Amino acid sequence: MAHLTFHGVLPTGSRELGDAKGPGGSGVFDLFFENIDLPGCADLPALVVLATREVDLDKNFITVNPPETIVHMGFDEAREHESFVWRVLPNPGETWVLQTHQIPAGRLKPRGNVLGIHTRNEKGEQARVRDDFAVARIFIVYHSTE
């Protein structure tokens, strides 16, 4: 019998995405959390839970186990890919807002998962000025057989 299990991807602290948010003022447009092990992960839907703030645009998105080429994809192309979870919902204020998105069955595996958070411009493209926002308290809620 499967039971719900929580896995902390980023249980404390926060990370920023956007122009000039990386080392030396470089941009961070695709943030990846790698090597996420989910012991006993059952082939059932799961949830990704995260807090966000200062999300101005509606073409930012979340992926699970995306291909390396996701960094070159715009929103419209990415949402057709099986790794697409959902858009990061707009929240332009400085208050942290909790978001919960369903991960379809069959997308997660017991070992080596990758969670991606991607920022894009107002047209959903990987070009020009992209949205700047922060994420925190990221968890995956999944069904486990262990």
What is the tens place of the pLDDT at every residue in 111-145? 999 999 999 999 999 887 899 999 999 999 999 99
**Cβ atoms of 97 and 52 closer than 8 Å:** yes
Buried b (16+ CB within 10 A) or exposed e, 37-54: ebeebbebebebebbbbb
Q: Which of the four pLDDT bands, split at 50, 70 and 90, describes residue 49?
A: very high
Q: What angle do CA 34, 141, 46 make, to 5 degrees?
A: 90
Q: Which of the four pLDDT bands, split at 50, 70 and 90, describes residue 146?
A: confident
What pLDDT, on a 0 to 100 scale, did the predictor assign at position 27? 82
List pLDDT tens digits, range 84-101. 999 999 999 999 999 999
Q: Which of the four pLDDT bands, split at 50, 70 and 90, describes residue 19?
A: confident
**CATH no. for residue 131?**
2.60.120
- Domain encompassing residue 33: 3-144
Across the range 32-58, mean pLDDT stands at 96
What pLDDT, on a 0 to 100 scale, did the predictor assign at position 126? 85
Question: What is the count of structural domains for the chain?
Answer: 1
